[in-house]
């Protein structure tokens, strides 16, 4: 190879290069240390000329990323950090990939030991870049081969050092322009650090070529640990059955069909008949059979420049599927009007609104009886009050029992409304709703007690309707008639007046009967106003108790449900569908 040819493909990042076919072993570059720093500067300068990735990240995908970011922000106080770790990783990797070149597509070649992935890697590069052989493991660290300049940032992101970065012999191949091919360590390597290195790079590349061989194509480790979890990444996956030259006759087709069956069981869509999905093909990296077809497919794939967006969309789908149980409810949870009314009814019962209304009605009617009753009855009641001091009157213990029962009713009401609001919610949000209800219920019984006392104090004495003075005047008149009739009879008895018992007896009887009649008429007339007065007192206490419960319990619960609806809408945007 001439010096001019060497300068054409040597970018200064190569610690060693492959000799041209037929030249034998590789030769080290002279002045490695100086050339590496110089080559890095050239690579960075070339990368600076590339536009940062933009096109694939606009539109629906950009909206999904923004929705995921908003979803993570809204959920941090409700979900554990490790639950959102994968979503955070997707956002971080999206931001990192967006700042790097969109003209390059990073494709990893992954496979188990002995599958021939390094041989395929070298065959695609047309250079002996990656070591191959019978000794296992052969590949201990990821090795990259870039067909064009400007991929330094992408390789830095993968953690591939300069000494493991290569260029193919003929880097001017237009069909693979923009391709960055990475040979990974064995996925089933006995060295743990090799497997970790492979897993780390697999999470960052734009696409993956899965290499399997006729012996290990059904290996459980490959399918359960890699293909099945990454089944949603079918559009950025190539599944290659290598070493078909070892299969006689139609055995290659049979193995390939069985491989397709296993991939279908893994949930990986296959790109057949023009449908999007993984490309499955058979080849022999050793003999070159089928390698040209893979090169053509990779060339078209790279030229589309959509691999980064497809990979990120698949990562979004995977993260969304993992988060689905945390955001998707069985139904449409909400705090309905019936639940609100039932809660208000329970609080009104706990605060004794009905009893307060009945007490107000009795008080109104009692006041009416006192105002409109006969003077003799009022005199007897006054005498009874002064006859038995208040301190000697028996006290009822009902109030203490009612307070205990009221607190139990309040707690039951809070639990009931919280359970109804949380019904159907995913576990974290149901717990948040219950916690909001419990926090709001702290001090609620005391607040209701103060409310009842304040309502009673504000109610004061019952109002005096306009007809009460007329009733009092009628009672005074009846009392006067009794007194006149009595004096008249007394005068006749003592001989002061002319005898005639019938008239004064009738006058006195009229007064005696008229007083109770007036009192009875007033009692009948007081029923309607008294009932309305009691109902008004009950209504005010019910509304006050409902407002107190709404402010302390229902509003915080509604706020949690609103937050859940917001995150559900954001989750629907992440998934890429309308809110359900």
In the chain, the percentage of residues whose pLDDT exceeds 90 is 31
Any idea which residue has 């000494």 for tokens? Answer: 163
DSSP strand pairing (27-28 vs 16-17): antiparallel
**For the whole model, what pTM was predicted?**
0.69
Residue 546: left (phi > 0), alpha (psi -120 to 50), or beta? alpha
Choose the weakest-confidence range: 76-90, 508-522, 556-570. 508-522
Q: Mean pLDDT score of the chain, rounded to an integer?
A: 78
How far, in Å, CA of 234 to CA of 236, rounded? 5
Read off the DSSP letter of residue 37: H
pLDDT of residue 536: 80
Kindly state the tokens that stand for 310: 């497809």
pLDDT tens per residue across span 157-182: 999 999 999 888 776 666 888 999 99
Structure tokens at 301: 């794939």
Q: CA 50, 94, 238, 305 torsion: positive or negative?
A: negative
Q: What pLDDT score does 28 carry?
A: 33
- Residue 378 pLDDT grade (very low, low, confident, very high; cuts 50, 70, 90): low
Place of tokens 């689905």: 324
484 Cβ contact list (under 8 Å, min separation 6):
507, 508, 511
- Within 305-331, residue ranges assigned H as helices are 307-327
How distant is the alpha carbon of residue 377 from its chain centre? 71
| Residue 60 φ/ψ, nearest 5 degrees | -60, -40
Phi, psi of 32 (to 5 degrees): -55, -50
Helix (H, G, I), strand (E, B) or coil at 16: strand
pLDDT score recorded for residue 188:
87
DSSP states along 561-579: HHHHHHHHHHHHHHHTS--
Tokens 């008949």 appear where?
273
Q: Which of 254, 257, 286 is nearest to 117 (CA)?
A: 286
pLDDT at 23: 37
- Sheet containing 105-111: order of strands: 165-166, 143-146, 179-183, 105-111, 207-212, 237-241, 279-282
Residue 424: per-residue pLDDT = 83
Q: Are 10 and 29 in contact (CB under 8 A)?
A: yes
Check residue 578 and give its pLDDT: 47
The arithmetic mean of pLDDT across residues 435-453, rounded, is: 85
Spatial distance between the Cα atoms of 278 and 157, rounded to a whole number of angstroms:
25
* Mean pLDDT to the nearest integer, 280-309: 92
3: pLDDT strictly greater than 60: no
CA 496 to CA 489: how far, in whole Å?
10
Is a pLDDT exceeding 80 seen at residue 12? no
Helix (H), strand (E) counts: the chain: 20, 9
E strands in 65-214? 105-111, 143-146, 165-166, 179-183, 207-212
- Residue 476 in this model has a pLDDT that exceeds 60: yes
Question: Over the stretch 268-278, which tens digit does the pLDDT of each residue have?
Answer: 999 877 788 99
CB 167 within 8 A of CB 114: no
Distance from C-alpha of 426 to C-alpha of 423, rounded to nearest angstrom? 9
Residue 579 has pLDDT above 60, yes or no: no
20-24, 133-137, 331-335, 555-559: which range is least confident on average?
A: 20-24
Give buried/exposed letters for 388-402 (b at 16+ CB in 10 A, else e). Answer: eeeeeeeeeeeeeeb
- Which pLDDT score is estimated for 543? 87
CA-CA-CA-CA torsion sign (488, 489, 495, 497): positive
pLDDT for the residue numbered 60:
80
CA 246 to the chain's CA centroid: 53
pLDDT bracket for residue 526 (50, 70, 90): low
Average pLDDT over residues 277-289: 92
Confidence check: pLDDT of 530 > 50: yes
Distance from C-alpha of 399 to C-alpha of 403, rounded to nearest angstrom: 6
What gap in Å lies between CA 426 and CA 109, rounded to an integer? 40
Nearest to 450 by CA among 539, 360, 544: 544
* pLDDT band per the 50, 70, 90 thresholds, residue 393: low
40 compared with 228, residue with greater pLDDT: 228
- Determine how many CB atoms are found less than 10 A away from the CB of residue 300: 10
Kindly report the three-state secondary structure assignment for every residue of 77-91: CCCCHHHHHHHHHHH
Reference 187, options 178, 198, 177; nearest CA is 198
pLDDT tens column, 35-67: 344 444 444 444 444 444 444 455 788 889 999
In this predicted structure, what is the pLDDT of residue 577? 66
Q: Which two tokens stand for residue 162?
A: 């300069």
**Nearest alpha-carbon partner for 304 in 233, 374, 234, 206:** 206
Please, which residues have CB within 8 angstroms of residue 444's CB and are 6 or more apart in sequence? Answer: 410, 414, 548, 549, 552, 553
DSSP of 345-410: HHHHHHHTHHHHHHHHHHHHHHHHHHHHS-HHHHHHHHHHHHHS-GGGSPPPSHHHHHHHHHHHHH
In DSSP terms, 165 is beta-bridged to 144
């Amino acid at each position: 190879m001439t010096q001019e040819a060497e300068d054409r493909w040597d970018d200064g990042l190569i610690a060693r290069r492959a000799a041209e076919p037929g030249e034998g072993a590789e030769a080290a570059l002279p002045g490695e240390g100086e050339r590496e720093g110089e080559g890095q500067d050239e690579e960075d300068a070339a990368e600076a000329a590339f536009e940062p990735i933009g096109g694939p990240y606009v539109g629906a995908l950009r909206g999904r990323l923004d929705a995921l970011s908003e979803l993570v922000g809204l959920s941090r106080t409700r979900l554990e950090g490790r639950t959102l770790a994968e979503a955070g990783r997707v956002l971080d990797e999206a931001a990192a990939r967006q700042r790097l070149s969109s003209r390059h597509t990073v494709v990893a070649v992954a496979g188990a030991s002995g599958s021939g992935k390094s041989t395929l890697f070298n065959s695609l590069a047309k250079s002996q870049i990656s070591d191959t052989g019978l000794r296992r493991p052969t590949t201990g660290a990821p090795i990259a081969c870039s067909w064009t300049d400007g991929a330094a940032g992408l390789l830095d992101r993968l953690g591939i050092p300069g000494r493991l970065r290569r260029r193919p012999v003929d880097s001017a191949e237009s069909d693979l322009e923009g391709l960055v091919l990475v040979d990974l360590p064995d996925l089933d390597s006995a060295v743990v650090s090799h497997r970790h290195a492979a897993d780390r790079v697999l999470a960052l590349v734009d696409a993956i070529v899965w290499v399997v061989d006729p012996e290990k194509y059904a290996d459980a480790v490959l399918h359960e640990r890699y293909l099945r979890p990454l089944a949603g990444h079918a559009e950025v996956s190539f599944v290659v059955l290598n070493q078909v030259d070892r299969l006689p006759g139609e055995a290659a087709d049979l193995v390939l069909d069985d491989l397709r069956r296993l991939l279908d069981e893994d949930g990986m869509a296959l790109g057949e008949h023009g449908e999007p999905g993984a490309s499955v093909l058979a080849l022999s990296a050793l003999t070159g059979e089928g390698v040209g077809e893979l090169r053509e497919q990779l060339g078209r794939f790279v030229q589309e420049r959509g691999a980064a967006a497809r990979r990120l969309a698949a990562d979004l789908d995977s993260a969304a599927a993992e988060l689905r149980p945390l955001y998707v409810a069985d139904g449409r949870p909400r705090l309905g009007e019936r639940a609100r009314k039932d809660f208000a009814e329970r609080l009104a019962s706990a605060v004794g609104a009905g009893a307060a209304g009945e007490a107000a009605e009795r008080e109104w009617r009692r006041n009416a009886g006192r105002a409109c009753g006969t003077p003799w009855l009022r005199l007897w009641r006054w005498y009874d009050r002064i006859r038995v001091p208040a301190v000697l009157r028996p006290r009822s213990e009902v109030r203490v029992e009612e307070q205990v029962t009221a607190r139990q009713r309040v707690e039951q009401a809070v639990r009931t409304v919280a359970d109804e609001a949380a019904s159907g919610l995913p576990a974290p949000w149901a717990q948040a709703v219950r916690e909001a209800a419990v926090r709001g219920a702290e001090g609620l019984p005391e607040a209701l007690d103060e409310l009842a006392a304040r309502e009673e104090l504000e109610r004061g004495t019952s109002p005096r309707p306009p007809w009460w003075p007329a009733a009092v005047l009628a009672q005074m008149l009846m009392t006067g008639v009794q007194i006149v009739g009595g004096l008249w009879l007394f005068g006749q008895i003592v001989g002061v007046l002319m005898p005639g018992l019938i008239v004064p007896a009738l006058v006195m009887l009229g007064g005696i009967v008229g007083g109770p009649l007036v009192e009875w008429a007033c009692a009948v007339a007081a029923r309607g106003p008294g009932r309305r007065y009691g109902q008004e007192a009950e209504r005010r206490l019910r509304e006050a108790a409902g407002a107190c419960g709404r402010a302390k319990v229902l509003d915080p619960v509604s706020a949690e449900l609103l937050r859940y609806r917001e995150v559900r809408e954001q989750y629907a945007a992440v998934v890429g569908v309308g809110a359900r």
